[in-house]
Structure 1
């Protein structure tokens, strides 16, 4: 079907603004490194867990340290999932707030598509999992949320390796979708995987959280200029908030998102206004992202990805289990069906059109890539099943398998599209006005 001429009707997945393109490009480069480290950590864990020294791997993972009265007597593996991942979700909170306050998603017309696609990409995988495991019993059904997550770092790493010429709109789409996806996952964890809430701890948690919010809002300029003060003052408040949240029974990573939401994105007028430079949220993001991508997430992956496969027979037995089938099909089929179907229905319902610079096969490739659900899927697996149980091990194998298959198929689709866009990329970089901004990003020149 012939696409409408630019400007004749509303489009979805448009090019976006040039500043947003620059910011997303920079973020993608950083996440690429994290994806590579994540892959190395996962492979190392699998090799160790299936080697003659496997007992030492599980002994280290299950070794407990901590303070029992605050429910902090945790294994090293739990410290990685409950503690280190809070840093990852703190960045998720910062990124999501920045998108809606200062990014292109502050426009409802731009925000609606990735948000709706994210919800579709959560609902369909969960539905597929439930249908497959209806007759498997209530224990198996606890894993319904495992195939609903998208891993930002892995997805971005695949994009960086095989699709450097894809339109920026697609990259922004997958990144925003994954961030919203993580927020949905946190909501699922908070509401569906919290078995008992200790209200006193939850109420006490509001004190350091409120103080953190007050200080970041009131003394934005001070913390922006004094890097050491942010570590000395804000970090302890964050740790106390996390500890009290953990003690309340609500998963501690929720504290990371709440802390991220409290940080101001834009500079106030008395601090020089938005044009005076990056806000505190962006500065904290720059400081904490290396810690998250370079240490926190890879360490979590190392202690979560390790599973004894038991050779080919063990692997075949694992992937034919209904729990594993639900996860693999949910990631590989449910994710792209949910994302693609939701995006298509939304365009038809609003009488909009896909941006003329894109094709539906591009959206399909990105939707398949969203089936790479590693970090948060493994976290939800830890919350769904008892550590070391058959369901837990089979689900872990399924997450790795479904993510790998999704990555390989998406790489094939996007690599073909990448060759197509490489031929037209030179045209998009034309700057006839010599103002440092490609003409395609200038108002009235959107292709």
Structure 2
């Protein structure tokens, strides 16, 4: 049952649907539920976005580390050049489209939303790719690599361009985060196998350092997870379970992934509650930048990479690349999160979130495009 819920992103989708219905039927009670303090100084929205999302981004970091190890999906570098170049296209494309749309039709108040359409929802993209191409088609692995690299860039974008809007950036507090990293490094040197000391001591200091510095505290474990002991070589592909790998890194992922997957219900519930009346130009800027900017950016850079001598994976052609770009334009989870930190104006925030929600339509467009282009679902051995 859990595998079914995880594979089809049921908790996240359920939270999103409930939030949309609640926010449009009874907006006042919805906003009270999300933003009123449930304990002194802490609302449900804060607990989800500043504490729960710490573990969401930590799991994303685990996937990035594992994919970069020898035997991982991004190793060696030459193998990863095409999806990495496509990833840069998938970041630059939507940024350019968003800024152009804002230049001609928008307002200076909208500029900070440029980072929202750079996101790809890795779980939904993986699901849609498997349904469109078939479970073992090389385009599925290509999309996973792209989404993982996209997560890495997304973490940098959040850290560098979206500090906490409610407090000024105070870089001196980052020394506390650095202290947390030094503790994690010392624990690794001491060959401490349990991940708990890394999280409780290094992670706590990292969280407070980021929170007090004005940088979003949800990134706290991004600076700690790389110190968790892990093997020198990776034995599993992305989303596969390496049952013989008992490293601290893998144990952390194994213990917390179910919590994160199921906890996305609360994330969807607290972040997707947007009233349809809040739709404005920002909504369409985000949606068009995702659909057109990300798709074209991925296609152009993937095609250019092939011309430079770094081809697409064997068994994947330019039609597959185009449809992969469409699939990657599903930006839901991270796009919702970035929308929440990009704008302090709740009306703009809601409009941007609606654009992120509309990006789910890319799944339907991907299916239609695959049929129009004659792409058939295939099963190709990875061996």
* Same fold at TM > 0.5: yes
Give runs of aligned pairs for residues 188-267 of structure 1, distance below 5 A.
Answer: 188-194=157-163, 196-220=168-192, 222-223=193-194, 230-231=195-196, 233-237=197-201, 238-266=203-231
Aligned in 2, Cα 1:111/1:265: closer, same or farther, shift over 3 Å?
farther
Aligned with residue 288 of structure 1, among 247, 253, 256: 256
Tell whether the 8 Å contact from 1:94 to 1:260 is kept in structure 2 after alignment: yes
Structure 1 pair 187–267 and aligned structure 2 pair: CA distance change class (3 A): closer
Instruction: Using the TM superposition, give the Cα deviation of residue 372 of structure 1 relative to its aligned residue in structure 2, in angstroms.
Output: 0.5
Distance 1:275 1:421, change over 3 A: closer
CA deviation after TM superposition for structure 1 residue 74, in Å: 4.1
For 1:298 and 1:121, how far apart are their aligned partners in 2?
A: 27
Give the deviation of 1:31 after TM superposition.
Answer: 5.0
Equivalent residue for 1:117, pick from 77, 80, 86: 86
User: Is residue 56 of structure 1 aligned with residue 29 of structure 2?
Assistant: yes
**CA separation of 1:279 and 1:142: change in aligned 2, threshold 3 A:** same
Q: Shift of residue 334 of structure 1? A: 0.8
1:407 paired to 2:366: no
Residue-pair matches, total: 367
User: Structure 1: where are the runs of 5+ without partners?
Assistant: 1-27, 68-72, 224-229, 269-273, 430-439, 442-447
SS in 1 for 2:360: helix
Equivalent position to 2:128, from 153, 158, 183: 158
**Structure 2 CA distance for aligned equivalents of residues 255 and 56 of structure 1:** 31
Contact residue 148 and residue 185 of structure 1 kept, 8 A: yes
Q: Residues 162 and 276 from structure 1, CA distance in 2 versus in 1: closer, same or farther, beyond 3 angstroms?
A: closer
Q: Secondary structure at the match of 1:80?
A: helix
1:100-121 per-residue CA deviation (whole Å, 9 max, x = no partner) reads 1130312011121222111110
- Following TM superposition, by how much is the alpha carbon of 1:262 offset from its aligned partner in structure 2, in angstroms? 2.0
Q: Which residue is 1:384 aligned to?
A: 342
Matches within 5 A, 1:87-166: 87-102=55-70, 103-135=72-104, 136-166=106-136
The answer to whether the Cα contact below 8 Å between 2:158 and 2:216 also exists between their aligned partners in 1 is yes
Which of the numbers 315, 331, 349 marks the counterpart of 2:290?
331
Aligned to 2:45: 77
Structure 1 CA distance for aligned equivalents of residues 130 and 7 of structure 2? 7
Closer, same or farther in 2 for the Cα pair 1:122/1:375, shift >3 Å? same
In the aligned structure 2, how far is the partner of 1:415 from the partner of 1:32?
A: 23
Query: Equivalent residue for 1:3?
Result: none
Is residue 119–residue 331 contact of structure 2 (8 Å, CA) maintained in 1? yes
Tell me, in whole angstroms, the C-alpha distance in 2 between the residues paired with 1:331 and 1:267. Answer: 36
- The CA distance in 2 between the partners of 1:418 and 1:349, in whole Å, is 27
Matched, 1:361 2:319: yes
Q: State the partner residue of 1:398.
A: 355
Question: Could you state the TM-score of these two structures normalised by the residue count of structure 1?
Answer: 0.75
1:50 partner SS = helix
Per-residue CA deviation, residues 123-168 of structure 1 (Å, 9 max, x unaligned), is: 110111101111533211111111110011222232344544451x
Gaps of 5+ in 2: 234-241
CA 85–275 in structure 1, closer or farther in 2 if over 3 Å, else same: closer
- The answer for the alignment partner of 2:16 in structure 1 is 42
More off after superposition, 339-348 vs 280-289: 280-289
| Backbone CA RMSD of aligned residues | 2.7
CA distance in 1, matches of 2:374, 2:224: 38
Question: Does the 8 A contact of 2:199 with 2:224 survive in 1?
Answer: no
Residue 374 (str. 1) matches residue 349 (str. 2): no
State the distance in 1 between where 2:228 and 2:7 align. Answer: 25
Q: Which structure has the larger Rg?
A: 1
Report the alpha carbon displacement of residue 180 of structure 1 after superposing the two structures with TM: 1.4
